[in-house]
A = this chain, B = another copy of it.
Amino acid sequence: MAGATRKALKTDAANAITADLVAVLVAVTEGEPKIMTIANDGALPSGPFEFAHRSLQTGLRAWVEAQTGHPLGYVEQLYTFADRGRAGGAKSPHSISISYLGLTREDKVGQGFEAHWSGWYEYFPWEDQRAGLPASLAKTLTSRLRGWSKSAATTSLQRERWQRAAITFGFDGREWNEELVLQRYELLYEAGLIPEAVRDGAPATSVIPGRPMTGDHRRILATGIARLRAKIKYRPVVFELMPAEFTLLQLQRSVEALAGRLVHKQNFRRLIEQQQLVEETGAIAGDTVGRPAKLFRFRHAVLAERAVAGTKLPLSRT
């Protein structure tokens, strides 16, 4: 073991690999969450980690800025995986993908770039539960997943499969858990219900709606969405996605867009205000219907004042 450790410290040319940096870049515009995509919206932006980069994050920031023409704000690492077996043949040169979640505003993106913004629910239609699922999609999901369950060999396996589907998708009167984005994607993959599964060799059944992506990119996107949905509840990261000034309803709509579900308006306001996450600018929002709303800005001081502070979701059942 000490031998193994020492060996790792030398250059081991035989085990040399390359590293790719993959970015899930998120913005929210008019209550819709967007992600930056390339390759005709079929891939997440990604670039190689090069020697010139001083660190992984530096590398990521460097080429994201080169792509969008604007600096990246909040960045956090998502996951690292080795993609042999999937992309490329079994004997292809090894490569590692290191994925990141980045938050910006859509208006920060420059012109003249191949990259552009797509709505993230195009890739995960079932994740948008704000208005409930379209009846057709709901029907498709349940019937296909029930079919998959039934196709298991033994009764107990069948029960197990259905239980898993019911938990992740909130069937049988269970609650919908918006954080299980990745679990839902993986379940659908296993069940062979998405194009990527068919591409990777699953029997070609009819596939459910939702735009696929190259390689593992939709899985990475799922990871990013899940992370973000979890994070807004205990860290004030939504504000990275908001303009400098906003109304409480705009803030609420952004949170709802990310979480994919509606929240109780009054309780939402109570939480935001009692946590002192925002302060009034004194100005009033123009061009609105109904009673005009006060404008607020994020109180950057909270970052220094407290270790934790989030936007809990006061969920509404309606």
Contacts and interface: CB of A to CB of B under 8 A. Distances in A.
Interface string A1-36: 110110110011111111110000000000000000
Given A16-B16, A81-B56, A4 B48 contact: yes
Contacts of A306: 167
Interface in A86-134: 93-96, 98, 113-115
Interface string A53-74: 1111000000100110000000
Given A2-B39, A55-B81, A18 B20 contact: no
A96 B67 CA distance: 25
A46 interface: yes
A66 B1 contact: yes
Nearest to A45: B1
Contacts of A55: 81-82, 84-85
Classify the secondary structure of A's interface with B. mixed
Interface string A183-197: 100000000000000
A231 interface: no
Interface in A130-181: 160, 163-164, 167-168, 177, 180
B80 A167 contact: no
A160 B305 CA distance: 10
Given A51-B94, A56-B80, A307-B180, A45 B168 contact: no
A305 B12 CA distance: 46
A272 interface: no
Given A17-B19, A51-B94, A54-B85, 5 more contacts: A1-B67, A8-B48, A17-B17, A160-B304, A168-B307
